[in-house]
Amino acid sequence: MFIMEFFRKTKTCNHPKIKPDVDFAYCPDCGELIENRWYLVRCACCGVKLKGLIKNGEIVPEEHFCHNCGTREYVVERIDKINFIDISYAVLVKAVVPNDYENFTQSWVDSKTQDCKPKLLQQFR
């Protein structure tokens, strides 16, 4: 039993239940707050979008050189909002938002006086 528990805690979670269309969500598997971050790989020379993937924890282009100009240099840019044109190129990183309890503020709406569900408001650093 102890070993089972140990393995469950150290198992890395890929947060498969986090949908890509949300900015933030709690993973039902590991309980971490997950931020969906989108990245786009572009050629450093001509700027065309390159199909990106994650390799050894790094965002790299799928092809080793630009299909447009042949350059091997590339840049990775963070995009705030994904659109459907970019979605086949972009890389989705499910990043764990660190829980800092010292800076953690939460407010609960009193459910007895308000006709709504309690809302947890969280501040992100």
Candidates 20, 22, 53, 68: give the one binding Zn ion (CB under 5 A).
Answer: 68
Task: Tell me: does residue 59 bind Zn ion (CB under 5 A).
Answer: no
DSSP state of 121: -
Using the contact rule CB under 5 A, the part of the chain among 58-66, 76-84, 104-112, 115-123 near Zn ion is: 58-66
State whether residue 60 is helix, strand or coil: strand
Q: Are 41 and 29 in contact (CB under 8 A)?
A: no
Joined tokens for residue 5: 């528990």
Please, are residues 7 and 43 in contact by the beta-carbon 8 Å criterion?
A: no
Interface mask toward Zn ion for 16-55; x: CB under 5 A? -----------x-xx------------x-xx---------
User: Closest distance between Zn ion and the C-beta of residue 42, in Å?
Assistant: 8
